[in-house]
């Protein structure tokens, strides 16, 4: 909740190969540990993953592909892609700005700011959706002013607009931005802190402008960390369920993202279609894990051996 | 303040980046979150208590807390072993297993929820044989371990009932423990264990008296992270919980229920209780992390 404990910076530098004999556990202990660990992972991670694909293909490959002929599925996929396409870049820009001011400067209240950035991870997804209902919902702060009506404070043009935030796409995007808020920032802050300011100072001394320094010195240095943050942010943005389900209103074919559409199909006992859509998200998760491992591998390669 | 000014003059962009950060943080996180507290401050104390302490809610707090605790304990045990195996042992496919540990972070919760249902339902791959064992086991426990009240579990199914909540929260919480322990285990100096061995400790003594105390701060931190995540979790649980009032309803679900009845104040009051709980947990986790950082001098 206070954030996935996964990060490039926290990756162990070495593996336990070549452990001296005196501090090795007896063979039977090693066998028991291996069995317990791998058995537990098989039951809790591999089996659910396998079940998604097995259930999706239960009635054959034809039924599987037939599930994607539904126009509502198409619109769910489009909405999910659109949401991620807005939320991820927004949080990317924020993450870079936040990491820049936190890692490169000293100022009062810095640790408080870092804590506040992590806050969305500590909030239940349902509450993340609820708070936007409190602002933009009909009973909310701004809700009454958003619909078409006669509000004395605003001009005629504004009063004619019927702006929908919750139970519409903007609310879904906002809730997604909230739940994915810390991903890029928390990846970049420790990375930029360890890199220090020396290279930027050198560039500035040699006559580079601030933006040149940023694009040509800082960005190449943090690119793997950036990429790492972005893929984690993207996975969560496309898969978010709780927060989005509160603000979406679940209007079929209009405000259902892929996870919400899975719920609808599943509750309609359309198991094959539900698992077919779920299999796309499971594939996304697998791709995310592969890219993540690749970046960690690259990161370890680029680091001097300890 | 003078040090800030001098640094600012060397590296440009302090005002811009801090200003943007604060504005974005305020608009997306702080103002919406404060809305929950402001909305609740309009209620009288009696109204607030009536909204957050109904029998249905008390039952949900007990359930959410109890099962999150149980799942976090199981994760601390198995997560500890998984971290040990991943750091200390070399075996074919270790990198794949290591990557797979993050699956609960990457797999959308709704997908995890329906996948666990498919597995543990009475006609599922695992539920088919495990469900009768579970029912028999609880029956045996209720006669042989009578000092614990098994009423809530007697006659329960694995999926669409309380045990399902436990399964979902265990799935969700696993990476927190493993990923918190892994770096600490990797940094553990072999000299420490060699010294213990030289001084005549056997392997069991070294494991329990040297290694375990070293790992304890990280283990508690991982446990707390998994526990905190479990309390707030919604997506994976609703599919598998069965959601019977007073029996298998988790607290986040009751927020949704109130919202569906257009009872925004009631929903917000529960949200405030949950927010305060998770902020306290966050504080505790931060203190734990500070303690373990000092402990390990990382």
pLDDT digits over B175-217, tens only?
999 999 999 898 888 888 888 888 888 888 888 888 888 888 8
Residue B248 has pLDDT above 50, yes or no: yes
pLDDT digits over A118-137, tens only?
999 999 999 999 999 999 88
Q: Within a domain: residue B252? A: yes
pLDDT digits over B96-108, tens only?
999 999 999 999 9
pLDDT of residue B206: 83
Of A234-238, B39-43, B207-211, B219-223, the poorest mean pLDDT is in: B207-211
Q: Within a domain: residue B217? A: yes
pLDDT digits over A243-265, tens only?
999 999 888 888 999 999 999 99
- Which of A1, A107, A290 has the CB atom closest to B4's CB atom? A107
Residue B157 pLDDT class (50, 70, 90 cuts) = confident
Of A9-18, B49-58, B115-124, B241-250, the poorest mean pLDDT is in: A9-18
Cα-flanking dihedrals φ and ψ of residue B254, to 5°?
-70, -30
pLDDT of residue B298: 54
Q: Enumerate residues 6+ apart whose C-beta is below 8 A from B125.
A: A47, A51, B118, B119
Q: Is A33 part of the contact surface with chain B (CB cutoff 8 Å)?
A: yes
Question: Rounded to a whole number, what is the distance in Å from the CA of B53 to chain A's nearest CA?
Answer: 18
Residue B146 pLDDT class (50, 70, 90 cuts) = confident
Nearest to A53 by CA among B27, B89, B220, B107: B107
Reduce the DSSP state of residue B289 to 3 states and report it: helix
Q: Within a domain: residue B161? A: no
Residue B1 pLDDT class (50, 70, 90 cuts) = very low
Mutating which of B2, B3, B11, B240 best tests the A interface, going by the most A Cβ atoms within 10 A? Answer: B11
> For residue A305, what is the DSSP state?
P
Mean pLDDT over B157-167 rounds to: 91
Q: Do A52 and B11 touch (CB under 8 A)?
A: no
Cα-flanking dihedrals φ and ψ of residue A225, to 5°?
-65, -40
Mean pLDDT over B129-143 rounds to: 87
Q: How far apart are CA A105 and CA B5, in angstroms?
A: 10
Residue B288 has pLDDT above 90, yes or no: no
Mutating which of A179, A242, A306 best tests the B interface, going by the most B Cβ atoms within 10 A? Answer: A242
State CA A280 to chain mean position distance: 16
Q: Within a domain: residue B235? A: yes
Q: Do A45 and B239 touch (CB under 8 A)?
A: no
Number of structural domains chain B divides into: 1
CA dihedral B81, B136, B167, B268 (to 10 degrees): -130
> Which ranges of chain B does DSSP label H, i.e. alpha helix?
2-10, 14-25, 31-41, 45-52, 55-88, 94-100, 103-106, 109-120, 127-144, 162-187, 190-198, 203-205, 212-232, 235-240, 251-260, 264-296
Contacts of B160 in chain A (CB under 8 A): none
pLDDT of residue B255: 95
Residue B160 has pLDDT above 60, yes or no: yes
pLDDT of residue B297: 63
Mean pLDDT over B108-116 rounds to: 96
pLDDT higher at B54 or B207:
B54
Residue B51 has pLDDT above 70, yes or no: yes
Calculate the alpha carbon distances from B227 to A37, A261, B68, B72, B142 in Å.
Answer: 20, 29, 5, 5, 27
State the ipTM, two decimals.
Answer: 0.89
Q: Do A242 and B281 touch (CB under 8 A)?
A: no
Q: How far apart are CA A156 and CA B159, in angstroms?
A: 56
CA dihedral B111, B112, B118, B120 (to 10 degrees): -170
Domain harbouring B246, CATH code:
1.10.3720.10
Q: Is B216 part of the contact surface with chain A (CB cutoff 8 Å)?
A: no
pLDDT higher at B222 or B2:
B222
Q: Within a domain: residue B157? A: no
Q: Within a domain: residue B223? A: yes
Q: Enumerate residues 6+ apart whose C-beta is below 8 A from B24.
A: A94, A97
Q: Do A241 and B256 touch (CB under 8 A)?
A: no
Q: Is B264 part of the contact surface with chain A (CB cutoff 8 Å)?
A: yes
Please identify every stretch of chain A with a pLDDT value under 70, giving residue numbers as ranges: 1-23, 148, 150, 159, 303-306
Closest residue of chain B to A111, computed from CA coordinates: B286
- Which of B7, B81, B124 has the CB atom closest to A36's CB atom? B81
Q: How far apart are CA B31 and CA B22, in angstroms?
A: 12
pLDDT of residue B5: 43
- Which of B7, B88, B252 has the CB atom closest to A126's CB atom? B252
Q: Within a domain: residue B4? A: no
Q: Within a domain: residue B26? A: no
């Amino acid at each position: 909740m206070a954030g996935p404990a996964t990060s490039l910076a926290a990756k162990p530098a070495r593996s336990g190969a070549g452990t001296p004999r005196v501090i090795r556990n007896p063979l039977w202990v090693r066998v028991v540990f291996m069995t317990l660990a791998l058995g537990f992972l098989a039951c809790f991670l591999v089996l659910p993953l396998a079940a998604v694909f097995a259930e999706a293909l239960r009635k054959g490959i034809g039924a599987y592909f037939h599930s994607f002929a539904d126009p509502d599925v198409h619109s769910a996929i489009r909405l999910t892609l659109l949401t991620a396409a807005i939320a991820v870049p927004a949080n990317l820009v924020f993450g870079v700005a936040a990491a820049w001011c936190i890692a490169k400067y000293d100022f009062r209240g810095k640790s408080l700011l870092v804590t506040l950035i992590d806050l969305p991870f500590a909030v239940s997804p349902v509450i993340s959706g609820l708070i936007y209902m409190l602002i933009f919902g009909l009973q909310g702060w701004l809700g009454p002013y958003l619909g078409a009506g006669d509000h004395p404070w605003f001009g005629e043009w504004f009063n004619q607009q019927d702006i929908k935030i919750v139970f519409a796409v903007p609310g879904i995007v906002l809730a997604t931005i909230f739940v994915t808020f810390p991903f890029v920032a928390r990846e970049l802050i420790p990375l930029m802190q360890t890199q220090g300011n020396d290279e930027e100072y050198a560039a500035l001394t040699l006559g580079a402008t601030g933006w040149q320094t940023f694009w040509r010195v800082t960005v190449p240095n943090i690119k793997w960390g950036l990429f790492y943050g972005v893929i984690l942010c993207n996975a969560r943005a496309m898969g978010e369920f709780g927060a989005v389900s509160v603000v979406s209103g679940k209007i079929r074919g209009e405000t259902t993202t892929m996870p919400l559409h899975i719920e609808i199909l599943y509750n309609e006992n359309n198991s094959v279609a539900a698992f077919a859509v779920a299999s796309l998200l499971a594939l996304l998760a697998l791709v995310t894990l592969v890219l993540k491992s690749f970046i960690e591998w690259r990161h370890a390669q680029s680091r001097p051996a300890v | 303040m003078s040090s800030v000014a001098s640094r600012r003059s060397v590296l440009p962009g302090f005002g811009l980046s801090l200003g943007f950060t604060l504005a974005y943080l305020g608009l997306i996180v702080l103002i919406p979150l404060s809305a929950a507290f402001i909305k609740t401050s309009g209620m009288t104390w009696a109204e607030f208590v009536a909204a957050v302490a109904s029998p249905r809610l008390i039952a949900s707090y007990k359930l959410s807390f109890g099962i999150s605790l149980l799942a976090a304990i199981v994760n601390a045990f198995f997560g500890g072993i998984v971290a040990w195996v991943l750091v200390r042992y070399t075996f074919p496919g270790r990198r794949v297993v290591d990557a797979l540990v993050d699956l609960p972070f990457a797999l959308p919760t709704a997908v995890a929820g329906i996948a666990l249902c498919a597995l543990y339902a009475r006609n599922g791959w695992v539920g088919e044989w495990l469900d009768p064992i579970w029912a028999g086991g609880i029956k045996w426990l209720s006669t042989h371990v009578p000092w614990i009240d098994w009423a809530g579990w007697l006659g329960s199914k694995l999926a669409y009932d309380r045990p399902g909540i436990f399964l979902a929260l265990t799935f969700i919480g696993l990476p927190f423990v493993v990923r918190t322990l892994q770096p600490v285990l990797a940094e553990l100096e072999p000299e420490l264990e060699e010294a213990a061995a030289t001084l005549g400790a056997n392997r069991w003594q070294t494991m329990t008296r040297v290694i375990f105390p070293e790992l304890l701060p990280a283990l508690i931190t991982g446990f707390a992270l998994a526990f905190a995540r479990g309390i707030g979790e919604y997506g994976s649980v609703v599919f598998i919980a069965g959601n019977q009032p007073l029996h298998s309803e988790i607290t986040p679900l009751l927020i949704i229920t109130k919202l569906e009845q257009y009872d925004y104040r009631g929903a917000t009051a529960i949200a405030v209780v949950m927010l305060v709980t998770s902020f306290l947990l966050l504080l505790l986790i931060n203190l734990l992390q500070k303690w373990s950082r000092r402990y390990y001098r990382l």
